[in-house]
């Protein structure tokens, strides 16, 4: 039985939604986060939603002593590892910072887990590991390739985990969850995505245009071989993504296969174009989302959506929420917290 889960990066956008899901499932949650891209206020919000507060340590995963202290104090059954930098453009400008941070945090965490005999790990990987040479919908056994240092850290960590499991299969079981495009927010409107600077991702950008914080959306490319010429992605509600983590933990707890280091896609299996997202947002918010079609963004693929058969077979999990749910929850969060956690 998994009773106590440590979530690295648990104060962030995805981590906070995972914390809510695990707390609701009756688990104890220990968040370790250096708050480099998160706010401590999120802890009160999680408590307001669930009636329970996660334990929180402000610490960097690269700080071995700090991690040892936490593992010493709490009997951790499993770890969900989300801590890491995640901006594609920034990773191209500062590759060393990305490799140092994302790889070292993982290595230190793995050493401490080994020393304390913690044998279940869910790793936050990304559909970015499929690169741009695969046909859609993409299955887990598709060839991997990456186009930027951020993506390479995800792929390198997947490889590291495979090696670690191979070396001592009795000591570690891993689920590599390959996220498609997380969007939306908890339906309470209390937690959501809070980009520190100009959003890189579509959904937060659109919602800032809708609320009037930004003038217009630049749609990156109108000449892709898609129905309306704009890029197609598999948007998944962050609450569905979070429940995928809960099911992955339960699966790891029961799986008897040794050599378990299993990639699993978390998506809906359905793709929407940029203009479909824009129009869904306009409908839900009643606001106009002004946009302009500009050049393609370097490194973008035309179409990306998941084959979700494996998640359903192994985890008994599938996404339940629709694009309208994602948009209306993102909009509620945006309206209630126009400045994110900053001055709300
Ligand atoms: C991006 C990253 C991916 C990362 C993921 C989660 C790239 C190439 N990929 O995925 O590695 O795992 O975020 O953080 O950056 N779009 C616009 N205008 C905008 C923003 C986006 O038209 O201002 C379009 C994009 O061209 C794309 C779609 O919206 O077609 C989704 O973009 P985005 O939200 O940035 O996600 P990805 O690029 O799929």
Ligand 1: residues within 6 Å at CB? 86, 88, 126, 128, 151, 181, 200-202, 205, 217-220, 231, 233, 274, 297, 299-300
Contact predicate 49/20, CB 8 Å: yes
Q: What is the pLDDT of residue 342?
A: 84
Would the pLDDT of 343 be above 80? no
82 pLDDT higher than 80: yes
Q: Reply yes or no on whether the pLDDT at 110 is more than 90.
A: yes
How confident is the prediction for the chain on average, in pLDDT? 96
109 φ/ψ sector (left φ>0, alpha ψ -120 to 50, else beta): alpha
Contact present, 237 and 318 (Cβ < 8 Å): no
Q: Whose CA is nearest to atom 11 of ligand 1?
A: 128
pLDDT band at 344 (very low <50, low <70, confident <90, very high): very low
Any idea which residues carry the catalytic annotation? 150
Residue indicated by tokens 């892709």? 224
> What are the tens digits of pLDDT across the range 218-253?
999 999 999 999 999 999 999 999 999 999 999 999
Q: Is the pLDDT of residue 298 over 90?
A: no
pTM over 0.95: yes
For ligand 1, the distance from its centroid to the CA atom of residue 200, given in whole angstroms, is 7
- Please write the tens of the pLDDT for every residue from 135-167: 899 999 999 999 899 999 999 999 999 999 999
Q: Quick one: pLDDT at residue 231?
A: 97
């Amino acid at each position: 039985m998994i009773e106590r889960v440590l979530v690295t990066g648990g104060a962030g956008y995805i981590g906070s939604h995972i914390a809510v899901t695990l707390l609701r499932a009756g688990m104890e949650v220990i968040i370790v986060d250096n708050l480099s891209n998160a706010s401590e206020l999120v802890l009160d919000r999680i408590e307001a939603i669930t009636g329970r507060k996660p334990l929180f340590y402000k610490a960097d995963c690269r700080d071995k002593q700090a991690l040892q202290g936490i593992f010493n104090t709490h009997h951790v059954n499993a770890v969900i590892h989300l801590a890491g930098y995640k901006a594609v453009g920034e990773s191209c400008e500062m590759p060393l910072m990305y490799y140092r941070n994302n790889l070292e945090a993982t290595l230190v965490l793995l050493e401490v887990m080994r020393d304390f005999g913690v044998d279940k790990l869910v790793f936050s990987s990304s559909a970015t590991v499929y690169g741009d040479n695969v046909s859609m919908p993409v299955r887990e056994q598709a060839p991997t390739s990456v186009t930027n240092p951020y993506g390479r850290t995800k792929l390198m960590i997947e490889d590291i985990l495979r090696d670690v499991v191979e070396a001592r299969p009795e000591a570690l079981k891993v689920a590599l969850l390959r996220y498609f495009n997380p969007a939306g927010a908890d339906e309470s409107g209390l937690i959501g995505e809070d980009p520190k600077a100009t959003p890189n991702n579509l959904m937060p950008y659109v919602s800032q245009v809708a609320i009037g914080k930004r003038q217009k959306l630049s749609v990156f490319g109108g000449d892709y071989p898609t129905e309306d010429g704009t890029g197609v992605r598999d948007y998944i509600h962050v609450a569905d993504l979070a429940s995928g983590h809960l099911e992955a933990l339960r699966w790891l707890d029961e799986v008897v296969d040794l050599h378990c280091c299993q990639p699993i896609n978390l998506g809906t299996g359905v793709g929407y174009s940029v203009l479909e997202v824009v129009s869904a947002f306009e409908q839900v918010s009643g606001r106009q989302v002004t946009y302009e079609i500009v050049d393609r963004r370097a490194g973008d693929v035309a179409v990306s959506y998941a084959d979700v058969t494996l998640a359903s077979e192994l985890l008994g999990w599938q996404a339940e929420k629709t694009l309208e749910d994602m948009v209306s929850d993102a909009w509620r969060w945006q309206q209630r917290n126009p400045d994110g956690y900053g001055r709300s």
